[in-house]
Amino acid sequence: MGEQQSLDVQQFLDQQPFSKFQWQTLGLCFAVVLLDGFDTGAVGFIAPSLIKEWGVSRPALAPVLSAALMGLAAGALLAGPLSDRVGRKRVLVSAVILFGAASLVSAFAGNLTQLSVLRFITGVGLGAAMPNAVTLISEYCPSQRRATLTNAMFCGFPLGAALGGFLAAWIIPHWGWRSVLILGGIAPLVLALLSIVLLPESVRYMIAKGHPAEGIRAILKRISAGVAEVRSYALSEVATSGAAHSGIGVVFSSRYLVGSLMLWLAYFSGLVIFYSLINWMPTLLRDSGLDPQHATLVSALFPLGGVGAVFAGWLMDHFNANRVVAAGYALTAASLYAIGQAVGNLGLLIVVVFVSGTFMNTSQSSLPSLAAAFYPTQGRATGVAWMMGIGRFGGILGSFLVAELTRRQLGFDQIFAIMAIPGVLAALAILVKQAASPDARHAMPARSLESPGH
């Protein structure tokens, strides 16, 4: 590369092959999100066992199912601004330790109240971990592959939830429902130890915060040795206006406000769908006549469909990302309605659940990538985390919504027709974001954030 005074880090990432070091970082973040999905969906899969062992009604489980979601919201809302202030890695590793330890202790809960409290604590860790994993990996991606790689990492969440379903169907009959929570506690604690050693801090964050060039150079040399002669590092990106120097200031600035609100609405609507079905589909399918094992296995196909997010990421990198995601939500609405019409035909139900899960999870998994590209470095962690944190209230609503719909004795087809409505709202929200901010990243002249050499 030769001796030079200053290096723009994003241009450097865009010009280099995706290195072994970046793949390692992607793998660690993928593992975080995988375990996040596993632990988030765990209670939904053990719910039938809780009903049987503790003799509780289905509506009585709603507080347990929603406790983690309230924790998820709190964790995301707190961790985003904290990460923009103290760093992505520090918050991410702490969050993984928290949700692993809390999940492990949850296995020894003796009643619904204890389990609800422990699930809330677990949720705080889960809520803090995922947006920081998304932010960290997005800041190591080349621009032309950012959506594809970020979506590939985020596929860990639905895969983790699906893995939870398959493992629950296998291990609960042998070792009981507590074994699911024990596994969901030990694995994150092991991952946290690996992350302390192997996971880097975001170089974009380090430049934005004026960290010494030596630390930035040490990380970038693991991507290419050619940076050894560079004396300082810069980051050219959109300037923030007025008081928008903090993460929260960026999110609420006039330039980003409408887009922020629409991202919140879309993520909220998507999680109404996701948590309604991840928590209640096994029970709904059992009530429709399926035996418990088939109900669990068919339900596990819904989150498994999230692997389609990789293809959606490729589409987002090559076409209008907002329109790609909006189309996914529209197809989600149509396919959810179709699930309600497929009851009674196991073969058709399997196909429709998988197709619906593919559209739903592909669209939802694409939103963090969409948000990460929307915000500048100073507000990226806050923007992604607040979208996910506020969206969690949609998951809380979803958990109570299906409980209320079943209490009102609505039919299987009617419940899924209602579930299609949030899909339509999410599609419209993304189209409004597109109309309000067709390309916010280029709306202002770029500025250079320097990290001087020493």
Domain with residue 197: its CATH number is: 1.20.1250.20
Rounded Cα distance, 345 and 362, in Å = 25
Span 258-263, mean pLDDT? Answer: 92
Strand spans (E) along 177-313: 230-238
Asked whether the predicted pLDDT for residue 142 surpasses 70, the reply is yes
- Which structure tokens are listed for 200? 């880097």
Mean pLDDT over the full length of the chain? 81
Q: How far is CA 100 from CA 37, 112, 189, in A?
A: 12, 20, 6
What's the confidence (pLDDT) of residue 448?
44
Instruction: Please report which confidence band the pLDDT of residue 245 belongs to, taking 50, 70 and 90 as the band edges.
Output: low
What is the distance between the terminal CA atoms of the chain, rounded to a whole angstrom? Answer: 20
In this predicted model, which residue has the larger pLDDT, 98 or 350? 98
Residue 382 in domain: yes
Say yes or no to pLDDT of 309 above 80. no
Q: Which residues pair with 6 in a beta bridge?
A: 232
Average pLDDT of the segment spanning 230-250: 64
Count the Cβ atoms, other than its own, within 10 Å of residue 105: 16
Checking if the pLDDT of 286 tops 80, the result is no
pLDDT confidence band for 93 (50 / 70 / 90)? very high
pLDDT at 2: 47
* Structural domain boundaries enclosing 262: 9-227+232-451
Q: Kindly state the helix (H) or strand (E) to which residue 448 belongs, with its residue range.
A: strand 446-451
pLDDT at 71 over 80: yes
Q: Is the pLDDT of residue 452 over 70?
A: no
| Cα(262)–Cα(363) distance, integer angstroms | 14
pLDDT of the residue at 177: 79
Q: What is the pLDDT of residue 249?
A: 80
User: 3-class DSSP state for residue 232?
Assistant: strand
Query: What is the rounded average pLDDT of the residues 421-446?
Result: 75
404 exposed, middle or buried (CB, 10 Å; 0-12, 13-18, 19+)?
Answer: exposed
β pairing state of 446-451 and 4-8:
unpaired
Q: Per-residue confidence at 237, pLDDT binned at 50, 70, 90?
A: low
Q: Is the pLDDT of residue 31 over 70?
A: yes
Residue 289 lies in a domain: yes
d(CA 452, CA 85): 20
Residue 428 CB neighbour total at 10 angstroms: 17
Q: Does the pLDDT value for residue 444 go beyond 70?
A: no
**The most confident of 218-222, 271-275, 333-337, by mean pLDDT:** 333-337
What pTM was computed for the model? Answer: 0.77
Task: Provide the Cα torsion 45, 47, 53, 57; round to 10°.
Answer: -160
Residue 69 has pLDDT above 80, yes or no: no
Which one-letter DSSP state was computed for residue 400?
H
Q: Decide if 362 is inside a domain.
A: yes
Pick from 19-33, 55-69, 356-370, 378-392 the range whose average pLDDT is largest: 19-33
pLDDT above 90: percentage of residues in the chain = 20
Q: Is residue 321 in some structural domain?
A: yes
Running DSSP on this structure, what letter comes out for residue 240?
P
Hunting for tokens 């302390």 — which residue is that? Answer: 196
User: Reading across the β-sheet that carries 4-8, which strands appear in turn?
Assistant: 4-8, 230-238, 446-451
3-class DSSP assignment, residue 69: helix
Residue 421 in tokens: 């409505």
300 domain residue, yes or no: yes
Percent of the chain with pLDDT over 70: 89
H or E stretch covering 213: helix 213-220
> Cα 218 to chain center, whole Å?
29
When pLDDT is cut at 50, 70 and 90, the band that residue 305 belongs to is: low
Residue 329's pLDDT is 94
pLDDT of residue 269: 94
What would the two tokens of residue 227 be?
């940076």
Tell me, yes or no, whether 283 lies in a domain: yes
Name, in order, each residue with C-beta under 8 angstroms of 20's C-beta and a sequence gap of 6 or more: none
1 in any annotated domain:
no
What is the arithmetic mean of pLDDT over 268-273? 91
449 pLDDT more than 70? no
Look at the chain and report how many structural domains it folds into.
1
Give dist(CA 336, CA 418) in Å, integer. Answer: 9
Scan for tokens 């070091």, then name that residue. Answer: 21
Contact 109, 115 (CB under 8 A): yes
User: Does position 170 have pLDDT exceeding 60, yes or no?
Assistant: yes
Query: What are the backbone dihedrals phi and psi of residue 231, each rounded to the nearest 5 degrees, phi first?
Result: -95, -25
3-state secondary structure at position 236: strand
Select from 128, 17, 138 the least CA-distant residue to 82.
Answer: 128
| Amino acid symbol at 71 | G
Of 26-40, 87-101, 228-242, the range with the lowest mean pLDDT is 228-242
Q: What is the mean pLDDT of residues 227-238?
A: 68
**What gap in Å lies between CA 54 and CA 111, rounded to an integer?**
8
pLDDT of 99 over the 80 cut? yes
Contact between 392 and 73 under an 8 Å Cβ cutoff? The reply is yes
